Structure 1
Amino acid sequence: MSVFRSGDQPPAWCELHGFKIFEVHSEPISVPVADEKQRLLVTSGSCRVTSASGAQVLDEGQFMDLDKSNAPFVIDGGDETAQVLVFYGRWGRELGGCGIFKLTPGSPGWAPGDPVSYPKSTNFDSHYHDCDEYWVILEGAGTVVIGSRSFEVEVGDCIAIGMGHHHDLPHIQSSVKGAYFETSLEGKRRFGHLWEHKHGPADVRQDRV
Protein backbone atom coordinates (compact mmCIF):
# COMPACT_ATOMS: atom_id res chain seq x y z
CA MET A 1 0.00 0.00 0.00
CA SER A 2 1.46 3.40 -0.99
CA VAL A 3 -0.74 5.51 1.31
CA PHE A 4 -0.24 5.57 5.08
CA ARG A 5 -0.88 7.89 8.01
CA SER A 6 1.11 9.13 10.99
CA GLY A 7 1.71 6.21 13.32
CA ASP A 8 1.29 3.60 10.55
CA GLN A 9 4.10 1.42 9.23
CA PRO A 10 5.15 2.67 5.78
CA PRO A 11 6.16 0.24 3.01
CA ALA A 12 9.44 -1.54 3.75
CA TRP A 13 11.31 0.16 0.89
CA CYS A 14 10.67 3.68 2.21
CA GLU A 15 13.49 5.89 3.44
CA LEU A 16 10.77 7.77 5.29
CA HIS A 17 9.94 5.84 8.45
CA GLY A 18 7.27 8.19 9.78
CA PHE A 19 6.05 11.76 10.13
CA LYS A 20 4.23 13.92 12.65
CA ILE A 21 2.28 17.17 12.35
CA PHE A 22 2.59 19.67 15.21
CA GLU A 23 0.09 22.48 15.79
CA VAL A 24 2.20 25.22 17.34
CA HIS A 25 0.86 27.94 19.63
CA SER A 26 2.49 30.13 22.26
CA GLU A 27 3.45 27.19 24.47
CA PRO A 28 6.80 25.59 23.48
CA ILE A 29 6.67 22.05 22.10
CA SER A 30 9.50 19.54 22.30
CA VAL A 31 10.33 17.75 19.06
CA PRO A 32 11.61 14.23 19.78
CA VAL A 33 14.65 12.79 18.04
CA ALA A 34 13.01 9.57 16.88
CA ASP A 35 15.20 8.27 14.05
CA GLU A 36 18.57 8.58 12.37
CA LYS A 37 17.46 11.77 10.60
CA GLN A 38 14.72 14.36 11.07
CA ARG A 39 13.61 17.14 8.73
CA LEU A 40 11.32 19.91 9.98
CA LEU A 41 9.15 21.77 7.45
CA VAL A 42 6.95 24.74 8.37
CA THR A 43 3.60 24.17 6.64
CA SER A 44 1.82 27.34 7.82
CA GLY A 45 2.70 30.50 9.71
CA SER A 46 6.11 31.08 11.29
CA CYS A 47 7.85 29.43 14.20
CA ARG A 48 11.10 29.50 16.12
CA VAL A 49 13.21 26.38 16.38
CA THR A 50 15.55 26.33 19.37
CA SER A 51 18.34 23.79 19.74
CA ALA A 52 21.54 23.37 21.68
CA SER A 53 23.33 25.44 19.02
CA GLY A 54 20.93 28.40 18.99
CA ALA A 55 17.57 29.49 17.56
CA GLN A 56 16.21 30.13 14.08
CA VAL A 57 12.88 31.52 12.84
CA LEU A 58 11.35 29.71 9.86
CA ASP A 59 8.41 30.78 7.67
CA GLU A 60 5.94 28.65 5.68
CA GLY A 61 7.75 26.51 3.12
CA GLN A 62 11.12 26.73 4.86
CA PHE A 63 12.77 23.69 6.41
CA MET A 64 15.77 22.60 8.43
CA ASP A 65 17.38 19.29 9.29
CA LEU A 66 17.49 18.42 12.98
CA ASP A 67 20.93 16.98 13.65
CA LYS A 68 20.90 14.75 16.72
CA SER A 69 24.07 16.41 17.99
CA ASN A 70 22.10 19.66 18.43
CA ALA A 71 19.24 18.12 20.47
CA PRO A 72 17.04 18.90 22.31
CA PHE A 73 14.75 20.77 19.89
CA VAL A 74 11.89 23.05 20.91
CA ILE A 75 9.45 24.91 18.66
CA ASP A 76 7.19 27.84 19.49
CA GLY A 77 5.01 30.24 17.53
CA GLY A 78 5.53 33.34 19.63
CA ASP A 79 2.22 35.22 19.69
CA GLU A 80 0.97 33.49 16.52
CA THR A 81 0.03 29.96 15.51
CA ALA A 82 1.89 27.73 13.10
CA GLN A 83 1.89 24.21 11.77
CA VAL A 84 5.03 22.14 11.50
CA LEU A 85 5.62 18.78 9.82
CA VAL A 86 8.54 16.61 10.88
CA PHE A 87 9.76 13.76 8.66
CA TYR A 88 11.64 10.91 10.32
CA GLY A 89 13.79 8.34 8.56
CA ARG A 90 17.09 7.42 7.00
CA TRP A 91 18.17 9.05 3.76
CA GLY A 92 21.39 10.03 2.04
CA ARG A 93 23.31 13.28 1.76
CA GLU A 94 22.21 14.19 -1.80
CA LEU A 95 18.49 14.94 -1.76
CA GLY A 96 15.79 16.28 -4.06
CA GLY A 97 13.37 19.04 -3.11
CA CYS A 98 11.20 19.77 -0.10
CA GLY A 99 8.38 22.27 0.29
CA ILE A 100 4.68 23.06 -0.12
CA PHE A 101 2.41 22.66 -3.13
CA LYS A 102 -1.12 23.99 -3.67
CA LEU A 103 -3.78 23.07 -6.20
CA THR A 104 -7.21 24.64 -6.67
CA PRO A 105 -10.25 23.31 -8.57
CA GLY A 106 -10.80 24.65 -12.05
CA SER A 107 -10.75 23.88 -15.71
CA PRO A 108 -7.66 21.92 -16.71
CA GLY A 109 -5.07 23.90 -18.54
CA TRP A 110 -1.98 22.89 -20.45
CA ALA A 111 0.53 20.89 -18.44
CA PRO A 112 4.02 20.09 -19.75
CA GLY A 113 4.03 16.56 -18.32
CA ASP A 114 3.90 13.23 -20.10
CA PRO A 115 0.61 12.33 -21.86
CA VAL A 116 -1.89 10.24 -19.88
CA SER A 117 -4.75 7.88 -20.78
CA TYR A 118 -7.06 8.90 -17.91
CA PRO A 119 -9.28 12.00 -17.67
CA LYS A 120 -7.95 15.04 -15.83
CA SER A 121 -9.58 18.06 -14.25
CA THR A 122 -6.37 19.76 -13.03
CA ASN A 123 -3.27 21.10 -14.75
CA PHE A 124 -0.94 19.09 -12.52
CA ASP A 125 1.71 17.36 -14.66
CA SER A 126 2.38 13.64 -14.86
CA HIS A 127 6.08 13.23 -14.06
CA TYR A 128 8.71 11.05 -12.40
CA HIS A 129 11.86 11.56 -10.30
CA ASP A 130 15.34 10.14 -9.84
CA CYS A 131 14.43 9.61 -6.18
CA ASP A 132 11.57 8.52 -3.97
CA GLU A 133 9.04 11.19 -3.07
CA TYR A 134 6.52 11.59 -0.26
CA TRP A 135 3.43 13.80 -0.22
CA VAL A 136 1.53 14.64 2.96
CA ILE A 137 -1.96 16.05 2.40
CA LEU A 138 -2.52 19.03 4.70
CA GLU A 139 -5.77 20.39 3.28
CA GLY A 140 -8.37 19.14 0.81
CA ALA A 141 -8.91 15.81 -0.91
CA GLY A 142 -8.35 14.32 -4.34
CA THR A 143 -7.23 11.45 -6.52
CA VAL A 144 -3.56 10.52 -6.81
CA VAL A 145 -2.33 8.32 -9.66
CA ILE A 146 0.93 6.36 -9.32
CA GLY A 147 1.70 4.31 -12.42
CA SER A 148 -1.47 2.33 -13.19
CA ARG A 149 -2.93 2.66 -9.69
CA SER A 150 -5.14 5.40 -8.27
CA PHE A 151 -5.79 6.36 -4.64
CA GLU A 152 -8.36 8.61 -3.00
CA VAL A 153 -6.50 10.76 -0.47
CA GLU A 154 -7.49 13.20 2.26
CA VAL A 155 -5.99 15.27 5.07
CA GLY A 156 -3.42 13.30 7.04
CA ASP A 157 -2.54 10.85 4.26
CA CYS A 158 1.08 10.34 3.21
CA ILE A 159 1.63 9.07 -0.32
CA ALA A 160 4.86 7.13 -0.92
CA ILE A 161 6.05 7.35 -4.53
CA GLY A 162 8.89 5.12 -5.65
CA MET A 163 11.71 6.29 -7.90
CA GLY A 164 10.82 6.37 -11.60
CA HIS A 165 7.09 5.81 -11.12
CA HIS A 166 4.97 8.40 -12.90
CA HIS A 167 2.62 10.22 -10.55
CA ASP A 168 -0.13 12.77 -10.94
CA LEU A 169 -2.93 14.56 -9.09
CA PRO A 170 -5.56 14.58 -11.86
CA HIS A 171 -8.67 15.31 -9.75
CA ILE A 172 -9.37 17.20 -6.53
CA GLN A 173 -12.62 17.49 -4.59
CA SER A 174 -11.50 20.71 -2.88
CA SER A 175 -8.42 22.89 -2.84
CA VAL A 176 -5.38 20.83 -1.92
CA LYS A 177 -2.37 21.92 0.08
CA GLY A 178 0.35 19.39 0.54
CA ALA A 179 3.95 18.97 1.62
CA TYR A 180 6.51 17.14 -0.49
CA PHE A 181 9.87 15.61 0.37
CA GLU A 182 12.14 14.03 -2.26
CA THR A 183 14.71 11.81 -0.56
CA SER A 184 18.01 10.33 -1.82
CA LEU A 185 18.81 11.05 -5.47
CA GLU A 186 19.83 7.92 -7.37
CA GLY A 187 20.70 6.83 -10.90
CA LYS A 188 21.36 9.98 -12.96
CA ARG A 189 20.65 12.07 -9.84
CA ARG A 190 18.60 14.68 -11.67
CA PHE A 191 16.34 16.91 -9.59
CA GLY A 192 12.92 18.37 -10.32
CA HIS A 193 10.02 17.09 -12.41
CA LEU A 194 11.19 14.73 -15.15
CA TRP A 195 9.23 13.80 -18.30
CA GLU A 196 9.97 10.97 -20.70
CA HIS A 197 9.26 13.16 -23.73
CA LYS A 198 12.02 15.53 -22.62
CA HIS A 199 14.36 13.65 -20.27
CA GLY A 200 14.12 10.10 -21.58
CA PRO A 201 12.80 6.83 -20.11
CA ALA A 202 12.28 6.65 -16.37
CA ASP A 203 14.46 4.39 -14.25
CA VAL A 204 11.52 2.62 -12.62
CA ARG A 205 12.34 0.81 -9.39
CA GLN A 206 9.83 -2.03 -9.57
CA ASP A 207 10.34 -3.06 -5.94
CA ARG A 208 9.03 0.31 -4.73
CA VAL A 209 5.26 0.00 -5.11
Structure 2
Amino acid sequence: MIELRDIYKIYQMGDTEVHASDGVSLKIYKGEFVAIVGQSGSGKSTLMNIIGCLDVPTSGQYLLNGEDVSELTDDEQAEIRNKTLGFIFQQYNLIPKLNVQENVELSLLYAGIPAEERAERARLQIERVGLAGKEKNLPTQLSGGQQQRVSIARALAGDPSVILADEPTGALDSRTSREVLDFLKKLNDEGNTIVLITHDNGIAQEAKRVVRVADGKIIFDGAARDAFPRGD
Protein backbone atom coordinates (compact mmCIF):
# COMPACT_ATOMS: atom_id res chain seq x y z
CA MET A 1 0.00 0.00 0.00
CA ILE A 2 2.79 2.43 0.97
CA GLU A 3 6.26 2.09 -0.51
CA LEU A 4 9.11 4.55 0.02
CA ARG A 5 12.13 3.97 -2.21
CA ASP A 6 15.43 5.61 -1.21
CA ILE A 7 13.74 8.78 0.04
CA TYR A 8 15.85 11.85 0.75
CA LYS A 9 14.58 15.14 2.13
CA ILE A 10 17.37 17.71 2.29
CA TYR A 11 17.15 21.22 3.71
CA GLN A 12 19.77 23.89 3.24
CA MET A 13 20.63 25.61 6.53
CA GLY A 14 23.17 28.28 5.62
CA ASP A 15 26.20 26.38 4.34
CA THR A 16 24.99 23.10 5.84
CA GLU A 17 22.80 20.41 4.28
CA VAL A 18 20.39 18.81 6.74
CA HIS A 19 19.22 15.32 5.75
CA ALA A 20 15.82 15.11 7.45
CA SER A 21 15.29 11.87 5.57
CA ASP A 22 18.47 10.09 4.55
CA GLY A 23 17.85 7.33 2.03
CA VAL A 24 14.77 5.78 3.67
CA SER A 25 13.13 2.73 2.10
CA LEU A 26 9.98 1.36 3.71
CA LYS A 27 6.95 -0.77 2.84
CA ILE A 28 3.67 -0.70 4.76
CA TYR A 29 1.03 -3.25 3.82
CA LYS A 30 -2.75 -3.07 3.84
CA GLY A 31 -4.21 -3.76 7.28
CA GLU A 32 -1.01 -3.11 9.25
CA PHE A 33 -0.74 -1.06 12.45
CA VAL A 34 2.69 0.56 12.28
CA ALA A 35 4.25 3.03 14.70
CA ILE A 36 7.01 5.32 13.43
CA VAL A 37 8.88 6.39 16.54
CA GLY A 38 11.78 8.73 17.21
CA GLN A 39 12.83 11.72 19.23
CA SER A 40 12.50 15.34 18.11
CA GLY A 41 14.67 15.89 15.03
CA SER A 42 14.88 12.17 14.21
CA GLY A 43 13.05 12.50 10.90
CA LYS A 44 9.75 10.88 11.87
CA SER A 45 7.68 14.00 11.13
CA THR A 46 9.37 14.34 7.74
CA LEU A 47 8.33 10.77 6.92
CA MET A 48 4.77 11.49 8.05
CA ASN A 49 4.59 14.59 5.86
CA ILE A 50 5.80 12.66 2.84
CA ILE A 51 3.50 9.68 3.47
CA GLY A 52 0.63 12.11 4.02
CA CYS A 53 1.32 14.01 0.77
CA LEU A 54 1.94 17.15 2.82
CA ASP A 55 5.47 17.41 1.42
CA VAL A 56 7.50 15.92 -1.43
CA PRO A 57 10.94 14.29 -1.19
CA THR A 58 14.08 15.89 -2.57
CA SER A 59 14.75 12.60 -4.33
CA GLY A 60 13.45 9.04 -4.31
CA GLN A 61 10.06 7.51 -5.08
CA TYR A 62 6.86 7.31 -3.04
CA LEU A 63 4.27 4.82 -4.26
CA LEU A 64 0.79 4.94 -2.72
CA ASN A 65 -1.51 2.12 -3.80
CA GLY A 66 0.89 1.57 -6.69
CA GLU A 67 0.79 5.19 -7.90
CA ASP A 68 3.98 7.27 -7.94
CA VAL A 69 3.08 10.40 -5.99
CA SER A 70 6.64 11.69 -5.57
CA GLU A 71 6.28 14.67 -7.92
CA LEU A 72 2.59 15.51 -7.91
CA THR A 73 1.34 19.08 -8.08
CA ASP A 74 -0.21 20.68 -4.98
CA ASP A 75 -3.71 20.15 -6.39
CA GLU A 76 -3.02 16.49 -7.14
CA GLN A 77 -1.66 15.98 -3.62
CA ALA A 78 -4.74 17.64 -2.16
CA GLU A 79 -6.97 15.26 -4.13
CA ILE A 80 -5.10 12.23 -2.79
CA ARG A 81 -5.32 13.57 0.77
CA ASN A 82 -9.09 13.94 0.39
CA LYS A 83 -9.71 10.53 -1.17
CA THR A 84 -7.07 8.21 0.26
CA LEU A 85 -5.74 9.52 3.58
CA GLY A 86 -7.34 10.28 6.93
CA PHE A 87 -5.49 12.46 9.44
CA ILE A 88 -5.66 12.51 13.24
CA PHE A 89 -3.63 15.30 14.86
CA GLN A 90 -2.40 15.96 18.40
CA GLN A 91 -4.28 19.27 18.64
CA TYR A 92 -7.45 17.90 16.97
CA ASN A 93 -7.56 20.76 14.38
CA LEU A 94 -11.30 21.26 14.82
CA ILE A 95 -12.96 24.50 13.69
CA PRO A 96 -14.21 26.20 16.89
CA LYS A 97 -17.27 27.83 15.25
CA LEU A 98 -18.47 24.58 13.68
CA ASN A 99 -20.37 21.93 15.62
CA VAL A 100 -19.44 18.24 15.70
CA GLN A 101 -21.53 17.34 12.65
CA GLU A 102 -20.12 20.23 10.62
CA ASN A 103 -16.51 19.46 11.61
CA VAL A 104 -16.86 15.83 10.53
CA GLU A 105 -18.50 16.86 7.25
CA LEU A 106 -15.77 19.36 6.40
CA SER A 107 -13.41 17.00 4.53
CA LEU A 108 -16.39 15.60 2.60
CA LEU A 109 -17.37 19.13 1.61
CA TYR A 110 -13.89 19.73 0.19
CA ALA A 111 -14.17 16.41 -1.69
CA GLY A 112 -17.38 17.58 -3.36
CA ILE A 113 -19.70 15.02 -1.71
CA PRO A 114 -23.40 16.03 -1.99
CA ALA A 115 -24.98 17.46 1.17
CA GLU A 116 -27.33 14.56 1.95
CA GLU A 117 -24.57 11.97 1.59
CA ARG A 118 -22.19 14.13 3.65
CA ALA A 119 -24.68 14.32 6.49
CA GLU A 120 -25.32 10.57 6.52
CA ARG A 121 -21.65 9.58 6.35
CA ALA A 122 -20.78 12.02 9.14
CA ARG A 123 -23.66 10.78 11.30
CA LEU A 124 -22.52 7.16 10.94
CA GLN A 125 -18.94 7.97 11.96
CA ILE A 126 -20.03 10.14 14.89
CA GLU A 127 -22.06 7.20 16.13
CA ARG A 128 -19.13 4.86 15.49
CA VAL A 129 -16.83 6.83 17.80
CA GLY A 130 -19.44 6.92 20.56
CA LEU A 131 -20.61 10.53 20.23
CA ALA A 132 -24.20 10.04 19.07
CA GLY A 133 -26.28 12.88 20.50
CA LYS A 134 -23.33 15.32 20.45
CA GLU A 135 -23.77 16.37 16.81
CA LYS A 136 -24.78 19.95 17.68
CA ASN A 137 -22.12 20.49 20.32
CA LEU A 138 -19.27 22.92 19.67
CA PRO A 139 -15.69 21.69 20.31
CA THR A 140 -15.46 23.85 23.45
CA GLN A 141 -18.38 21.90 24.92
CA LEU A 142 -16.46 18.62 24.68
CA SER A 143 -13.65 17.05 26.70
CA GLY A 144 -10.22 16.56 25.13
CA GLY A 145 -10.94 12.89 24.55
CA GLN A 146 -14.27 13.67 22.91
CA GLN A 147 -12.62 16.26 20.65
CA GLN A 148 -10.07 13.66 19.57
CA ARG A 149 -12.94 11.27 18.81
CA VAL A 150 -14.46 13.96 16.58
CA SER A 151 -11.16 14.20 14.71
CA ILE A 152 -11.16 10.40 14.34
CA ALA A 153 -14.72 10.51 12.98
CA ARG A 154 -13.63 13.22 10.53
CA ALA A 155 -10.69 11.05 9.41
CA LEU A 156 -12.97 8.04 8.90
CA ALA A 157 -15.76 9.88 7.08
CA GLY A 158 -13.85 9.92 3.79
CA ASP A 159 -13.36 6.12 3.93
CA PRO A 160 -9.55 6.46 3.64
CA SER A 161 -7.14 3.68 2.68
CA VAL A 162 -4.70 4.86 5.36
CA ILE A 163 -5.20 6.61 8.70
CA LEU A 164 -2.23 8.76 9.77
CA ALA A 165 -2.24 9.50 13.49
CA ASP A 166 0.31 12.18 14.45
CA GLU A 167 0.93 12.09 18.23
CA PRO A 168 -2.82 11.48 18.75
CA THR A 169 -2.53 11.14 22.53
CA GLY A 170 -0.04 13.98 23.09
CA ALA A 171 -2.64 16.38 24.52
CA LEU A 172 -4.55 13.80 26.57
CA ASP A 173 -4.33 12.40 30.08
CA SER A 174 -3.33 8.77 30.55
CA ARG A 175 -6.88 7.40 30.90
CA THR A 176 -8.14 9.21 27.80
CA SER A 177 -4.98 8.25 25.91
CA ARG A 178 -5.76 4.62 26.69
CA GLU A 179 -9.27 5.03 25.26
CA VAL A 180 -7.97 6.57 22.03
CA LEU A 181 -5.32 3.87 21.59
CA ASP A 182 -7.88 1.14 22.21
CA PHE A 183 -10.09 2.72 19.55
CA LEU A 184 -7.22 2.81 17.05
CA LYS A 185 -6.61 -0.88 17.77
CA LYS A 186 -10.30 -1.57 17.17
CA LEU A 187 -10.14 0.25 13.83
CA ASN A 188 -7.12 -1.84 12.88
CA ASP A 189 -8.94 -5.04 13.87
CA GLU A 190 -11.72 -3.94 11.51
CA GLY A 191 -9.22 -3.79 8.64
CA ASN A 192 -8.05 -0.17 8.66
CA THR A 193 -4.38 0.53 7.96
CA ILE A 194 -2.97 2.70 10.76
CA VAL A 195 0.32 4.63 10.73
CA LEU A 196 1.02 6.13 14.17
CA ILE A 197 3.69 8.81 14.62
CA THR A 198 5.04 9.21 18.16
CA HIS A 199 8.08 10.10 20.23
CA ASP A 200 6.83 7.88 23.09
CA ASN A 201 8.20 4.34 23.20
CA GLY A 202 5.31 3.20 25.39
CA ILE A 203 2.77 4.44 22.85
CA ALA A 204 4.74 2.88 19.98
CA GLN A 205 4.57 -0.53 21.66
CA GLU A 206 0.78 -0.46 21.26
CA ALA A 207 1.28 -1.01 17.52
CA LYS A 208 1.98 -4.40 15.95
CA ARG A 209 5.07 -3.20 14.08
CA VAL A 210 7.55 -0.49 15.03
CA VAL A 211 9.81 1.55 12.76
CA ARG A 212 12.42 3.46 14.78
CA VAL A 213 14.13 6.42 13.14
CA ALA A 214 17.17 8.48 14.13
CA ASP A 215 19.16 11.06 12.18
CA GLY A 216 16.89 10.59 9.18
CA LYS A 217 17.51 6.83 8.94
CA ILE A 218 15.56 3.72 9.92
CA ILE A 219 17.47 1.98 12.71
CA PHE A 220 14.89 -0.71 13.50
CA ASP A 221 11.92 -2.22 11.67
CA GLY A 222 10.16 -5.18 13.20
CA ALA A 223 7.67 -6.52 15.73
CA ALA A 224 6.77 -4.13 18.53
CA ARG A 225 7.82 -6.64 21.20
CA ASP A 226 11.38 -6.60 19.81
CA ALA A 227 11.63 -2.84 19.23
CA PHE A 228 13.08 -1.65 22.51
CA PRO A 229 15.85 -2.89 24.78
CA ARG A 230 14.60 -4.21 28.11
CA GLY A 231 13.70 -1.28 30.33
CA ASP A 232 13.60 1.26 27.48
The normalised TM-score by structure 1 is 0.27
The normalised TM-score by structure 2 is 0.25
Structure with the higher fraction of residues in strand conformation: 1
